[in-house]
Amino acid sequence: MICPNCKKEFEKNIYDCNECFIPLVKEIKTDDEAVVILRTGSKPEVAILKSILDDAQIPYAAKGEDLQDIIGLGSLGPRVNYAAGYIELLVNKCNLEEVVSLLKAMQQEVPEESFEE
């Protein structure tokens, strides 16, 4: 079950989001094909990208986000819980070009003057 607002995943026996207080849905439907834009075991990476997408008002879905810590070991080694698999962030294919542009813009260097006091 997924919250259509915050995109958080819940177990099957939960019916309302405990943060948004709205009913959960079985899946977030898209009009077009969904594409994976991130596959990682790192929750901080996921949080940063979700923040960027939220700010740009680009809808997305997170797959496997809450599974990382279900098995008591959390993530080991290269930041992935091998029993739970990777976390995947998906966007609608029609938004992919905008996502790529946002990420490229964030990679540009910040001028050194901005750090001077």
Burial group, residue 57, by CB count within 10 angstroms (0-12, 13-18, 19+): exposed
| DSSP classification of residue 66 | G
pLDDT score for 68: 58
Per-residue confidence (pLDDT) for residue 16, from 0 to 100? 87
Amino acid at 116: E
Alpha-carbon torsion angle 38, 62, 57, 106, nearest 10 = -20
pLDDT for position 98: 92
Domains and CATH numbers, the chain: 34-107 (3.30.70)
pLDDT of residue 13: 85
Residues of the chain with pLDDT under 70: 28-32, 66-84, 108-117
Please tell me whether the overall predicted TM-score, pTM, comes out greater than 0.85 for this model: no
CA neighbor of 59 nearest in space, from 37, 86, 82: 37
